[in-house]
Amino acid sequence: MQSLDRPTTGGRYLVLLLAISLLFSALQLRAGDEGLGDDFWEKYDDIADWITLRLKLTPEQERVALPILQEDFEKKKEMLKSYGFLSGSKPKLSTKQKEEIDAKMIAIRAETRAKLVDLLDATQLAELKKIQREYHEEFRRRLAEY
């Protein structure tokens, strides 16, 4: 019988995927990138646990939320892949493409939050919005480098 205390294998897979999502250009990152610090990978080593702790999810909430968050990541990953990210090369993007990517990220983020509205309480939703905003600010900063 599976314990609900820890994320499943799918949850662990989510850890890796969200780490890639947070750093959609991880293959291009330099160790000294501003804002990351030496402990970045340690800090985000287990994103599923990090989100669970930050949102203070109950085991039941975690069981429902992790698949939704994994789906969120898959959508973002596929979208980024369609623009040439995650291929090992740095894509050349027009301003229009950057705007498209940003808008699509916002739409995916809103869709994910909508799926979690009935699951999370007001405090957890506020924290989720904060997490998403932090991620998106970092994402925009990195997107501007392209």
Sign of CA dihedral 126, 10, 40, 99: negative
CA distance 71 to 61: 16
According to DSSP, residue 68 is labeled H
Higher per-residue confidence, 12 vs 52: 52
Q: What integer is the mean pLDDT of 116-131?
A: 95
Q: Which pLDDT value is given to residue 98?
A: 92
pLDDT at 86: 74
Distance CA 55, CA 71 (A): 18
The pLDDT score that the predictor gives to residue 46 is 60
Q: Is the pLDDT of residue 145 over 50?
A: yes
